[in-house]
Amino acid sequence: MPGYNLPKTYDFSAIEEPLYAWWEEKGFFKPWNDPNLPNFDPSHKPFVISIPPPNVTGELHLGHAMFVAMEDLMIRYHRMKGEPTLWIPGTDHAGIATQLLVERELAKEGLRREQLGRDEFLRRVWAWKEKYGNIITRQIRRLGASCDWSRERFTLDAGLSRAVREAFVRLYEKGLIYRGLRMINWSPGLRTAVSDLEVEYSEEPGTLYYFKYVLADDPNTYIPVATTRPETILGDTAVAVHPQDERYSAFVGRKVRVPILNRLIPVISDPYVDPQFGTGALKVTPAHDPNDYQIALRHNLEIINIMTEEARINEAGGPYAGLDRFECRKKLWEDMRAAGLVIKEEPYTLTVPRSQRGGEIIEPRLSEQWFVRIKPLAEAALRAVQEGRIRIIPERFTKIYYNWMENIQDWCISRQLWWGHRIPVWYCDDCGAMTVAREDPTHCATCGSMRIHQDEDVLDTWFSSGLWPFSTLGWPEETPDYKYFYPTSVLETGYDILFFWVARMIMFGLEFTGREPFHTVYLHGLIRDEHGQKMSKTKGNVIDPLEVMNQMGTDALRFTLLVGSTPGNDINLSLKKVEANRNFANKVWNAGRFVIGALDMCPLAPQGAPQWTLADSWIWARLQNLLREVERLFESYQFGEAGRQIYDFFWSEFADWYIEIAKIQLAEGGDRAFYTAYTLVRVLDTCLRLLHPFTPFVTEALWGHLKKAAQSKSEAFAPKEGWAEALIIARWPEPKAAEEWEEQKVAEFSLIQEIVRAIRNVRTEKKVPPARKIPTVMVAGEHADMLKEQTQILAALAGIASDHFHILEKRDTKPGNEITLVVSGIEVYIPLADLVDPAEERTRLETELSEAEQQIARLEALLAGPFAQRAPSHIVEKERQKLETFRETAQRLREQLQALGE
Partner RNA sequence: GGGCGGAUAGCUCAGUAGGUUAGAGCGCCUCCCUUACAAGGAGGAGGUCAUGGGUUCGAGUCCCGUUCCGCCCA
Feature table: binding site for ATP? 537
The reply on whether position 608 binds RNA by CB under 7 A is no
In the complex, the smallest distance separating the C-beta of residue 196 from RNA, rounded to whole angstroms, is 6
- State the sign of the Cα–Cα–Cα–Cα dihedral 791, 794, 797, 803: negative
> Candidates 46-54, 101-109, 530-538, 826-834 — which segment interacts with RNA by CB under 7 A?
530-538
Binding to RNA in span 484-503, by CB under 7 A:
499
Q: Is residue 601 classed exposed, middle or buried when 0-12, 13-18 and 19+ CB atoms within 10 A define those classes?
A: middle
The reply on whether position 479 binds RNA by CB under 7 A is no
- Distance between CA atoms of residues 897 and 901, nearest Å: 6
| Closest to 400 measured CA to CA, from 486, 496, 286, 315 | 496
- The interface mask with RNA, positions 334-353, x = CB under 7 A, is -----------------x--
Q: Is 745 helix (H, G, I), strand (E, B) or coil?
A: helix
Q: Which is nearer to RNA, 547 or 725 (CB)?
A: 547
In the complex, the smallest distance separating the C-beta of residue 195 from RNA, rounded to whole angstroms, is 11
In the complex, the smallest distance separating the C-beta of residue 203 from RNA, rounded to whole angstroms, is 8
Binding to RNA in span 662-691, by CB under 7 A:
663
Q: How many CB atoms lie within 10 A of CB 722?
A: 9
> Candidates 69-77, 431-439, 714-722, 874-882 — which segment interacts with RNA by CB under 7 A?
874-882
- Please name every residue paired with 212 in a beta bridge, in sequence order, or none if there are none: 224
| Closest to 543 measured CA to CA, from 582, 583, 571, 585 | 571
Query: Does residue 264 contact residue 216 with C-beta atoms inside 8 Å?
Result: yes
The reply on whether position 891 binds RNA by CB under 7 A is no
In the complex, the smallest distance separating the C-beta of residue 695 from RNA, rounded to whole angstroms, is 12
Among 79, 263, 365, 593, binds RNA (CB under 7 A): 593
The reply on whether position 583 binds RNA by CB under 7 A is yes
- The interface mask with RNA, positions 535-574, x = CB under 7 A, is -----------------------------x-xx-x--x-x
Binding residues: 537
The reply on whether position 659 binds RNA by CB under 7 A is yes
Q: Is residue 352 classed exposed, middle or buried when 0-12, 13-18 and 19+ CB atoms within 10 A define those classes?
A: middle
Among 24, 59, 789, 879, binds RNA (CB under 7 A): 879
Query: Does residue 186 contact residue 173 with C-beta atoms inside 8 Å?
Result: no
Q: Which is nearer to RNA, 337 or 539 (CB)?
A: 539
Binding to RNA in span 44-103, by CB under 7 A:
none
The reply on whether position 878 binds RNA by CB under 7 A is yes
Among 131, 330, 438, 632, binds RNA (CB under 7 A): 632
- Distance between CA atoms of residues 727 and 733, nearest Å: 12
Query: Does residue 871 contact residue 880 with C-beta atoms inside 8 Å?
Result: no
Binding to RNA in span 756-775, by CB under 7 A:
756-757, 760-761, 764-765, 769-770
Strand pairing category for 238-241 and 391-393:
unpaired
Q: Which is nearer to RNA, 280 or 564 (CB)?
A: 564
* End-to-end alpha carbon distance in the chain: 58
Among 105, 173, 310, 656, binds RNA (CB under 7 A): 656
Please state whether the peptide bond connecting residue 476 to the residue before it is cis, i.e. omega within 30 degrees of 0: yes
What CA dihedral angle connects 137, 142, 148 and 150, to 10 degrees? 50
Among 30, 61, 325, 582, binds RNA (CB under 7 A): 582
Q: Which is nearer to RNA, 103 or 685 (CB)?
A: 685
Contacts of 575 (CB under 8 A, 6+ apart): 530, 543, 548, 552
Among 120, 173, 200, 877, binds RNA (CB under 7 A): 200
Q: Say which amino acid occupies 445.
A: A
In the complex, the smallest distance separating the C-beta of residue 528 from RNA, rounded to whole angstroms, is 7
Ramachandran angles phi, psi of 141, nearest 5°: -60, -40
Query: Does residue 354 contact residue 188 with C-beta atoms inside 8 Å?
Result: no
Q: Which is nearer to RNA, 445 or 580 (CB)?
A: 580
The reply on whether position 776 binds RNA by CB under 7 A is no
Binding to RNA in span 401-420, by CB under 7 A:
403-404, 407
In the complex, the smallest distance separating the C-beta of residue 279 from RNA, rounded to whole angstroms, is 22
| Closest to 296 measured CA to CA, from 254, 215, 240 | 240
> Candidates 130-138, 304-312, 673-681, 872-880 — which segment interacts with RNA by CB under 7 A?
872-880
The reply on whether position 853 binds RNA by CB under 7 A is no
Query: Does residue 417 contact residue 95 with C-beta atoms inside 8 Å?
Result: yes
In the complex, the smallest distance separating the C-beta of residue 761 from RNA, rounded to whole angstroms, is 4
The reply on whether position 293 binds RNA by CB under 7 A is no
In the complex, the smallest distance separating the C-beta of residue 370 from RNA, rounded to whole angstroms, is 20
The reply on whether position 8 binds RNA by CB under 7 A is yes
Among 19, 381, 585, 687, binds RNA (CB under 7 A): 585
Q: Which is nearer to RNA, 64 or 593 (CB)?
A: 593
- Distance between CA atoms of residues 554 and 108, nearest Å: 37
- Distance between CA atoms of residues 693 and 733, nearest Å: 13
Among 682, 882, 887, 894, binds RNA (CB under 7 A): 882
Q: How many CB atoms lie within 10 A of CB 572?
A: 15
Q: How many CB atoms lie within 10 A of CB 707?
A: 22
In the complex, the smallest distance separating the C-beta of residue 892 from RNA, rounded to whole angstroms, is 15
In the complex, the smallest distance separating the C-beta of residue 315 from RNA, rounded to whole angstroms, is 34
Q: Is residue 887 classed exposed, middle or buried when 0-12, 13-18 and 19+ CB atoms within 10 A define those classes?
A: middle
In the complex, the smallest distance separating the C-beta of residue 882 from RNA, rounded to whole angstroms, is 6
Q: Half-sphere exposure of residue 804, counting CA atoms within 13 Å on the CB side?
A: 12
> Candidates 324-332, 461-469, 477-485, 586-594 — which segment interacts with RNA by CB under 7 A?
586-594
Contacts of 804 (CB under 8 A, 6+ apart): 773, 774, 775, 776
Q: Which is nearer to RNA, 342 or 506 (CB)?
A: 506
The reply on whether position 855 binds RNA by CB under 7 A is yes
Using CB under 7 A as the binding criterion, the count of chain residues that bind RNA stands at 77
Q: Which is nearer to RNA, 281 or 562 (CB)?
A: 562
Q: Which is nearer to RNA, 205 or 532 (CB)?
A: 532
**Helix H or strand E segment including 747:** helix 740-765
Among 111, 215, 445, 580, binds RNA (CB under 7 A): 580
Please state whether the peptide bond connecting residue 866 to the residue before it is cis, i.e. omega within 30 degrees of 0: no
Q: Which is nearer to RNA, 138 or 870 (CB)?
A: 870
Distances (CA, A) of 435 to 88, 353, 610, 642, 867: 35, 36, 81, 56, 79
In the complex, the smallest distance separating the C-beta of residue 771 from RNA, rounded to whole angstroms, is 7
